[in-house]
Amino acid sequence: MKKTMPLLFPALLFILFGLFFRLPADAAENEPNPVPEPGQQELVIDGVYYHLIWGSNYTGTASASLELPEGSTEVPPDEITVRSEITWNGITFPVTSLRSDTTDDIGELTRRKGRLSGYNKEHLRKITIESGVQDIILSLSHYKALEEIVIENPSESIYAHFSIWDCPKLKDIYVPSNVDSVPQLRDCPNASVIYAPDHPKYKIIDGDIYSRNEKTLYDVPSTTKKYVVKDGVERIAFGAFAGNSNIKKIIIPDSVRKIERKAFYNMTNLKKVKFGNSVRKIYGGSFRRCNNLKVLVLPKNIRQVTDGFGGKRFCKLKRLYINSPKLNKANFTGIPKTCSIYVKNASVKKMIQKQSNFKGKIIIQ
């Protein structure tokens, strides 16, 4: 017994020592993982670039892009799906937006002279956007192989903007009822826009996009040379004709009262616009880059014309006729001095000189 006591004492001491240091270790195992510092991360998944952002409370969001980051060596597939959420490092990120390499509206997109190269432009065939992506802006040009753009029916209302130019294989784009979107297609001969029958905002008439009550004309992809705006339309929306290189003449009925910004922007072959008598205001940029438009006759009830004709580089007007006896706003900035402006009286002439600093001829007729 005397011999075993010296052996038991070290053993008991070892056990007590182990218990003392085991308790803090057990406590550490039960503590939650440390809260991450706010940060960002870039990922490429199946040909789609995602930018993740998170805070210190384990929550974050992601944005998606069709443009891969510089230096990426991944070869994208010819069919891509934009996910509605991404899980990375234990955190789930809802994908809140989708962008292409540019967010140009259709007018700006169609004025590009160069055809930027890229793998997607040559090979991408199908884009699927999962339900849950809330904010979509795609501006696509010269996608030679692109056939389909699929918007999965979202569970709640979302906004989507599509400017698409020169995609020869693209098929029809279907817009679900809870997607607020006016897809603008130019030089896509096999594609048109189809809205869900119960869509609350938009409808198609003869290939053009109107409001449900048919009072607003939103987009005209028509390939006709002479275009007659439907009687009953009261408003021509932003960029409705922009980038349309087919139409040469537009006839506007008396029902139209308002023409919004860039309505006829970059219509390279437009030669004549015949206004109805109810148009009272024309917003800026409406005739910018319409270089074949040499003569413009404004209606008698016009009261306001804002700037944005484009200067001598983007405006080739030779004669401008203002048939209104009175103008409340007359900003003709951007009309080259080589253009002659014809007015009805001295007060209109004075208004133009005061507000536009126009250096060319103003002739009272």
pLDDT, position 24: 45
Low-confidence ranges of the chain (pLDDT < 50): 1-5, 7, 9-32, 35
| Amino acid letter, 58 | Y
What 3-state DSSP class applies to 314?
helix
pLDDT, tens digit, for every residue of 163-216?
Answer: 999 999 999 999 999 999 999 999 999 999 999 999 999 999 999 999 999 999
| Close Cβ partners of 7 (under 8 Å, ≥ 6 residues apart) | none
Kindly state the DSSP code that residue 216 receives in the 8-state scheme.
E
pTM of the model: 0.85
Q: What is the 3-state secondary structure (H, E, C) of 136-161?
A: EEEEEECCCCCCEEEECCCCCCEEEE
What 3-state DSSP class applies to 123?
helix
CB-based burial of residue 245 (10 Å sphere; 0-12 exposed, 13-18 middle, 19+ buried)? middle
Tell me the C-alpha distance between 236 and 143, whole Å.
Answer: 29
pLDDT, position 90: 85
In this structure, are residues 267 and 244 in contact, taking their beta carbons and an 8 Å threshold? yes
pLDDT, position 6: 52
Q: Which tokens sit at 110?
A: 């169609």
Domain ranges of the chain: 39-200
- Beta partners for residue 164, in sequence order: 140, 185
pLDDT, tens digit, for every residue of 74-104?
Answer: 778 999 999 999 999 888 999 999 998 788 9
CB-based burial of residue 48 (10 Å sphere; 0-12 exposed, 13-18 middle, 19+ buried)? buried
Q: Which tokens sit at 94?
A: 């809802």
In this structure, are residues 362 and 343 in contact, taking their beta carbons and an 8 Å threshold? yes
| Amino acid letter, 361 | K
